Amino acid sequence: MAGPPPPAPPNSQPTTPSSRQSTPSEDRMSTFETEEVKMLRETVREFGKREIAPYIDEWDRQATFPREMASKMAEVGLLGGRLSPEIGGSGMTYPMITAVIEEMSYFSAAAGAMVGAPSNSVGKGLAMQGTDEQVDRFLRPFLAGEVHAAAAVTEPHSGTDIVHKMETTAKKDGTNYILNGEKAWISGIENADWVVTFATLDKSKGRKGVTAFIVDIDTPGVSTKHYEDSHGARTFVSGSVFLQDVVVEEDRRLGEEGEGYRILMAGTEIGRLACAARALGMLRATLDVSVEYAKLRETFGQPIGRHQLVQDKIATMATNLDAARLLTYRVAELKEAGVERVQREASMAKLFATNSLVEATNEAMQIHGANSHSPEYSVGRLWRDAKSTQIFDGVNEIHKVMIAESVLGYR
């Protein structure tokens, strides 16, 4: 005899606090946080409930993310991140920007990436090495949400070791540069107005030959291709950038010739911190939808949350969530304390948070059973998006190598 029908989904979006009664994933999370961070979290939650939660599943189905979201984030002071207010930033501390990325990613990983971009791969190098003209022309409008930008780094043949095998070339032509090459898996490229990209002036010099450039998408010779049917991370609107005899003027070079590696690495550690924070937000959402479903779905005359095997899954999710949170915010606190290099700690946080997320979404699919495949439940989107976190910002295998070499004293 067939069992009772499954409960109707209370919402296609993870449970979100509406009357300030905390969800399971929020319990005790802010015990040691400053009032400033707590207020910032509340701002992001209200923003997410209003601007993202009602629409994210439809955006995922359409593989799109609205351009206007950036300006809406900027209006409430969420887009400026770590950058100085003197150049249009928000001047957040590391714990603050980590909390913003985490909270935004609870609703949408793509939104978490958007709010974090000014502090890492796109904005930090420009803030660090950009001329006054470049800051005014590119960075200030970006921080105001008036334009969109992306970091075009990865190439079809290489990602983690890109600076050692870069195929995109820059050839000096008087005071200009001629760029040729292809960049792949560029997040946000569908909406981008310009990119920070990297090319080598001399392959024999390895990373010392890499130089950074700012390239407008409408420059002659630039074309893009949006990946139409990605398995996951669909709202990241990723794609390729093709550079064919693209003329870039000298005033669009970012930093000096050969400084591209330094500019790229400036955003790497915070990029890994941001990836861990995104995974943390998604892990919280996964726990919440799992708890909600386990309380509503009944088998054998009781909620499935009463079954010990389901309880085992919930307990593991909750424990890994707390452990991932501690590892992630340790990186933020170390950076805030002025520790210059936190490569080992950042790799640990990224590795553990993303692995825990993938494990949690797998178990959440089991808890939801056949309903996990229904578009009426957000758990399927979380499951598909989770895998990308193990790949973005360096595949997890390379992070294991980096952690081990640090422990062994090899680096």
Q: CATH no. for residue 189?
A: 2.40.110.10
Q: What is the pLDDT of residue 31?
A: 62
* Residue at 388 is within a domain: yes
pLDDT of residue 394: 87
Q: Number of structural domains, the chain?
A: 3
Residues 280 and 255 in one domain: no
Both 278 and 387 in one domain: the answer is yes
CB atoms within 10 A of CB 265: 14
- Predicted confidence band at 28 (pLDDT cuts at 50, 70, 90)? low
**CATH number, domain with residue 124:** 1.10.540.10
pLDDT tens per residue, range 243-262 = 999 999 999 999 999 999 88
User: Looking at residue 397, what is its pLDDT?
Assistant: 95
pLDDT digit string, tens, across residues 260-272: 988 888 877 788 9
Of all residues in the chain, the percent with pLDDT exceeding 90 is 75
Domain assignment present for residue 12? The answer is: no
End-to-end CA distance of the chain: 62
For residue 25, the model assigns a pLDDT of 66
Q: Where does a domain end: 143, 178, 207?
A: 143
Token readout for 144 is 């105001």
pLDDT over threshold 70, residue 2: no
Residue 320 near residue 363, CB atoms below 8 Å: no
Instruction: Look at residue 4 and tell me if it is in a domain.
Output: no
- Using CA atoms, how far residue 155 sits from 173, 191, 199, 317, 344, in Å, is 24, 19, 11, 35, 25
Instruction: Judge contact between 163 and 261, C-beta under 8 A.
Output: yes
Over residues 322-348, mean pLDDT:
94
* Position 136 in a domain: yes
Kindly state the average pLDDT of the residues 19-42.
73
**179 is written with which tokens?**
């760029």
Q: Is the pLDDT of residue 21 over 60?
A: no
Specify whether 250 is located in the same domain as 271.
no
State the pLDDT confidence band at 4, using cuts at 50, 70 and 90. very low
pLDDT score of 357 more than 90: yes
The pLDDT of 336-346, averaged and rounded, is 92
Domain with residue 323: its CATH number is: 1.20.140.10
What is the pTM (predicted TM-score) of this model? Answer: 0.90
Span 356-361, average pLDDT: 98
161 and 239 share one domain: yes
Residue 103 lies in a domain: yes
399 and 291 within one domain: yes
Q: On the CB side of 212, how many CA atoms lie within 13 Å of its CA?
A: 27
Asked, for residue 18, whether it belongs to a domain, the answer is no
Amino acid 234: pLDDT: 85
397 lies in the same domain as 367: yes
Mean pLDDT calculated for residue range 24-46? 81
Could you tell me if 402 and 275 lie in one domain?
yes
pLDDT at 12 over 70: no
Task: Report which of residues 19 and 130 the model is more confident about.
Answer: 130
Alpha-carbon gap, residue 148 to 115, rounded angstroms: 12
Q: What is the pLDDT at residue 121?
A: 78
Least reliable range by pLDDT among 95-99, 105-109, 207-211: 207-211
Residues 346 and 389 in one domain: yes
Phi-psi domain of 284 (left: phi exceeds 0; alpha: psi -120 through 50; beta: other): alpha
Q: How confident is the model at residue 237 (pLDDT cuts 50, 70, 90)?
A: confident
Domain assignment of residue 11, yes or no: no
Q: Looking at 92, 125, 143, which one is the last position of a domain?
A: 143
- Regarding whether 176 and 257 lie in a shared domain, the answer is yes
Alpha carbon distances (Å) from 333 to 93, 272, 340, 387 = 9, 14, 12, 27
pLDDT at 169: 95
What is the arithmetic mean of pLDDT over 114-138? 91
82-103 residue pLDDT tens = 999 999 999 999 999 999 999 9
Query: Which is nearest to 24 in space by CA: 270, 292, 396?
Result: 292
What pLDDT digit, counting tens, does each position of 214-226 carry?
A: 999 999 999 999 8
Same domain, 137 and 153: no
Residue range 348-377: mean pLDDT, rounded: 96
Domain of residue 281 covers 267-408
Q: Which of 148-162, 205-219, 320-334, 336-350 has the lowest mean pLDDT?
A: 148-162
Does residue 23 carry a pLDDT above 80? no
Could you tell me if 318 and 193 lie in one domain?
A: no
The pLDDT assigned to 266 comes to: 80
pLDDT score recorded for residue 19 = 36
Q: Is the pLDDT of residue 20 over 80?
A: no
* Mean pLDDT confidence for 283-308: 96
Average pLDDT over the chain, rounded to an integer: 90
pLDDT at 209 over 80: yes
Which of 95, 121, 143 is at the close of a domain? 143
Residues 276 and 311 in one domain: yes
Q: Which of 165, 83, 171 is nearest to 128 (CA)?
A: 83
Q: What percent of the chain has pLDDT over 70?
A: 92
Q: If pLDDT is split at 50, 70 and 90, which confidence band does 120 have?
A: confident
Q: Can you give the pLDDT at residue 269?
A: 78
